[in-house]
Amino acid sequence: MYLVAVLDWYSRYVISWELDQSLEQGFVLAAVDRTLQTAVPTIMNSDQMSAPMHIRQPSATIVFAKRQIQVSLYRTMRRVRERGGRRRAMATADTLVRIDTIYHEPTAFDYARGRQVRERHPQAALVEVPSHWQIPDLHGNEDLAESWNRVKRTVLVLGVKKGLQCRPFERSCDFVAPSSANGCAMACAYCYVARRKGYANPITTFVNIDQIAGAIERHAARQGFKWEATQADPTLWTYELGTNSDCAVDATISDNVRDLVALFRRLPNAKATFATKYVNDDLLSYAPEGKTRIRFSLMPAAIARVVDVRTSRVPDRIAAINRFMEAGYEVNINFGPVLYYDGWLADYATLCEQIDASLSPAAKRQLHAEVIFLTHSAELHEINLRWHPAAEALLWQLELQEHKVSQASGEQVLRYQHTLKRQLVADLLAVLRERLPYCGVRYAF
Ligand code: SF4
């Protein structure tokens, strides 16, 4: 019996597989066919002795050529292996985005940041659009749902952020800062940022970073010193930077995040915070001096492999905690989103053991966590069914869920039913108390 499996090289997610009793080409092509219905890669790589022959057959190469997919054989994989783990991580960082098209507002290149991004992607085609928020070719183009990940990898939008207000928020922060980006190159199947974006959600980078930073600085100055502790922080006003994007990925596009970390370093009464699923070691050189809190989002690795598409592996996120703390960040954990499935609590107990075994005593002393159970939306569910149905088997469980209006966004979302969720929260908090007794929980809902 022979097995062929097609994996997303970055996320290690098995996209499709087939079994056959012979090594004829048919079952390899059937697996490839199903893969291409889910996603279209830039490069198709094969690492086994027989599959390279199959994917070089004319019937296969025609399929690849039509979709402009390059074929690369096992030598590529061997070379990557020989480079070792660290080099492999760097290679994945390099391949997270390969921008070939930049949609830009008319004035985007009047700003130094817009010109900087352009210089980093000189090969990209430029398409002028009236507004970063309404690009019918992207957000309204139903055909792009099947190419969800390709768009995230190859498209960038440059816009000018208009709303510069800091708004109060009482969970991970005291205030949500105006975003320096919106959208993401990663592709978590439950991503709430994607819910309002239609059929595509690539990164939009805002080029007026000086205005954004100025608005935050003036707002912080008006607050004065913080006399009363909040759940976000006992002494510093805390500003959320990553409501609409993942800042660690944004930092691969421009210096916006570097500038914001520098801003908070000098604000006497405020700190920044953002959650991330991406380990970007470039941030280690930003010298935050304790004024930026990174929250690494964690979930059981087997589940993350299905729903956290294009993100850093969970073991890599855990391993990064000590490193980022030593570089001057406060490092917390975001247990979010928490998914409920058979065996979920045992998986969280194991995850806690992995965290406990990995963290240094200093990292444990400063550790706090937040717990956020899954929410989902009908619109994103429909889109996900077209590029990643396997994730929906975990996310869409109507018999356990109910529709509610989100307090944070005002949108209709799907959540675990009220009484079930109350029990799930209690069960998970009990596990955290037992396995990570030194970890304070800021909130759980
Ligand atoms: S990392 Fe955050 S912003 Fe990016 S896809 Fe995942 S949930 Fe969305």
Cα gap 245→261, rounded to integer Å: 16
The CATH 3.80.30.30 domain(s) of the chain lie at: 94-444
- Ligand 1 atom closest to the Cα of residue 242 is 3
- Ligand 1 atom closest to the Cα of residue 201 is 5
Mutate to test the pocket of ligand 1, among 11, 195, 245 (most ligand atoms within 8 A of CB): 245
Tokens 């717990």, residue located: 371
| pLDDT tens string 232-287 | 999 999 999 999 999 999 999 999 999 999 999 999 999 999 999 999 999 999 99
Residues forming beta bridges with residue 323, ordered by sequence position: none
Residue 151 has pLDDT above 90, yes or no: yes
Using CB atoms within 10 Å of the CB of residue 226, give its burial: 0 to 12 exposed, 13 to 18 middle, 19+ buried.
middle
Widest Cα–Cα separation across the chain: 73
As a CATH number, domain 94-444 is: 3.80.30.30
Rounded to the nearest angstrom, the distance between the alpha carbon of 436 and the centre of ligand 1 is 26
What is the predicted pLDDT for the residue at 62? 46
Rounded to the nearest angstrom, the distance between the alpha carbon of 183 and the centre of ligand 1 is 8
| Local structure of 26: helix, strand or coil | helix
- Does the Cβ of 189 fall within 6 Å of ligand 1? no
- Does the Cβ of 187 fall within 6 Å of ligand 1? yes
The DSSP call for residue 313 is: P
**Sheet strands (E) in 298-354:** 308-309, 330-338
Residue 398 has pLDDT above 80, yes or no: yes
- Does the Cβ of 277 fall within 6 Å of ligand 1? yes
Cα gap 132→158, rounded to integer Å: 7
Q: Average pLDDT, whole number, for the chain?
A: 88
What is the CATH T-level fold of the domain 2-82, as seen in this structure? Answer: Nucleotidyltransferase; domain 5 (3.30.420)
Cα gap 67→65, rounded to integer Å: 5
User: Dihedral sign, CA of 222, 264, 132, 337?
Assistant: negative
pTM exceeds cut of 0.85: no
Rounded to the nearest angstrom, the distance between the alpha carbon of 83 and the centre of ligand 1 is 29
Cα gap 248→324, rounded to integer Å: 12
What is the predicted pLDDT for the residue at 264? 98
Residue bearing the CA closest to ligand 1, atom 6:
188
Residue bearing the CA closest to ligand 1, atom 8:
191
Rounded to the nearest angstrom, the distance between the alpha carbon of 379 and the centre of ligand 1 is 16
Residue of 253, 283, 257, 256 whose CA lies nearest to 117: 253
Helix 26-38 to helix 58-66 angle (10° resolution) is: 10
Rounded to the nearest angstrom, the distance between the alpha carbon of 244 and the centre of ligand 1 is 8
Rounded to the nearest angstrom, the distance between the alpha carbon of 276 and the centre of ligand 1 is 8
Tell me the residue type at 390.
Answer: A
Extract the tokens encoding 392.
């929906």
The DSSP call for residue 285 is: G
Residue 179 has pLDDT above 80, yes or no: yes
Residue of 282, 233, 234 whose CA lies nearest to 261: 282
User: Dihedral sign, CA of 304, 306, 307, 313?
Assistant: positive
- Does the Cβ of 309 fall within 6 Å of ligand 1? no
What is the predicted pLDDT for the residue at 197? 85
Q: What angle do CA 109, 114, 120 make, to 5 degrees?
A: 120
- Ligand 1 atom closest to the Cα of residue 308 is 6
- Does the Cβ of 96 fall within 6 Å of ligand 1? no
Residue 366 has pLDDT above 70, yes or no: yes
- Ligand 1 atom closest to the Cα of residue 184 is 4
- Does the Cβ of 275 fall within 6 Å of ligand 1? no
Q: Is the peptide bond before 337 cis (omega within 30 degrees of 0)?
A: yes
- Does the Cβ of 188 fall within 6 Å of ligand 1? yes
- Does the Cβ of 93 fall within 6 Å of ligand 1? no
Contact 407, 415 (CB under 8 A): no
The CATH 3.30.420.10 domain(s) of the chain lie at: 2-82
DSSP string, 342-358: TTHHHHHHHHHHHHHHH
Mutate to test the pocket of ligand 1, among 180, 188, 190 (most ligand atoms within 8 A of CB): 188
Residue 194 has pLDDT above 70, yes or no: yes
| pLDDT tens string 124-143 | 999 999 999 989 999 999 99
Q: What are phi and psi of 85, to 5 degrees?
A: -60, -45
| pLDDT tens string 52-104 | 445 545 455 445 555 656 655 444 334 434 444 443 444 355 679 999 999 99
